Amino acid sequence: MRLRHIHLPFCSAQALYPPYSLASRVQEHLRRQLLDFKDKAATSDTAAAATTAAAASHSHSGSSHDGGLPPPPPPPTLLSFTPLPAFTLGRRQTAPLSESEMARLQEPLHVTTSSSSTNTTNITPLPVSIVNSPRGGLTTYHGPGQTVLWPVLDLRSPHHKQFTVRCYSRLLEDTTIATLRSMFGLAAFTTADPGVWVRRPHLLLSGQHVREDGEPGAAAAEAKIAALGVHLRRHVSALGTAINVAMPSADVVDEQRNPWARIVACGLEGKVVTSVAGELNAASRASNRQQQQQQEHQITDDGGAVNNATPPPSLENGGHVAAERAVAASWAEELARRIGVEGVDVVPEKEVVSLLADLVREAAAVDGDGGGDGSGATAEEQDFVARMTEQLLVSSSS
């Protein structure tokens, strides 16, 4: 068995991102496939046991029954995407948001959209949604600059490694830590707080005072680089992790540009959120400053200046768009290895868009018949699918 990887397409240059609700719709479809298979398998097992008992009591007939091979189970699947801006409210968010809080969160977010092919960037205002999530915790953010990774697995499946709830949470953490290390050389880790974190040695190099836990002011010694959330239904997983690839740094206090400035992320007071680009760029600047200081006091044996080390690659000016996709691919490979399957099968973009179109069409039809439960396709979902379908037609004809 292999891991199926469904990556929802997006186009930063056109500010075209899948709505969070559409990703949730795909996840529920995949989850329903696994749950339906488990129901049918349980029914088949019961029927097979009854058939075996009946055959044993009538063994004198000499006949046998071959019900054929059971259908294969749906493969374990990773759903990855970079969504339109969305604040998600966890189950601990018991108090309803006030009208002013809702209005503040839903103010358009001014996002840097970029094209790696033309090396251009623009500031684009994007709509912000507020979504209730089945995960634990309080409020967090998902949107451009992030790679969201949702595995849909049966934790009790005999076709790959099996996991307890705690072991599955550790699987998400370890897969994220390994990906950050292999792709960017970042030494991430876990703490008593949820998520994946990084230490910030560049603050020491730059001469900033680093606070200990609970100490007010100055800069935080640790920062959260990835959020985790888990929801299980009969051992079938939903949600997962979100890695901050290229997002505004913690010192950007403008709420129009920085979504983290609008909330206390996951309810963790005094904690800082960071991103891969932020850590790499800050560490590079601090390292260059340190080397420059050393050059003032050191010369080489031949009298020349000490050479600066090559800084890590930048994720700015469109580079983060490719990085977000690469993070998803690398995370998928790491997950496949850790759950013990043979590899990864990436679903072609044309098939992904076709699946999205089918799901949106079905939801719209059910809602139109009056049999919906309020989960009908939104205008944003329909617009995204229409624009993506148009893009595929244009690219296939060119």
Q: Are 211 and 258 within 8 A, CB to CB?
A: no
DSSP string over 297-333: T---TTSPPPPPPPPPPP-TTTHHHHHHHHHHHHHHH
The string of DSSP letters for 16-45 reads B---HHHHHHHHHHHHHHHHHHHHHHHHHH
Active-site hit among 242, 266, 329, 335: 266
What's the CA gap between 88 and 105, in Å, rounded? 11
Q: What is the CB-side half-sphere exposure of residue 247 using CA atoms within 13 A?
A: 30
Going by the DSSP 8-state scheme, the letter that residue 135 receives in this structure is S
Q: Which two tokens stand for residue 386?
A: 């229409």
For 141-158, b where at least 16 C-beta lie within 10 A, e where not — what string? bbbbbbbbbbbbbbbebe
Cα(120)–Cα(343) distance, rounded to whole angstroms? 36
Q: Take residue 262 and report the two structure tokens written for it.
A: 């609008």
**Active-site residue flag, 266:** yes
Please give the positions annotated as active site: 266
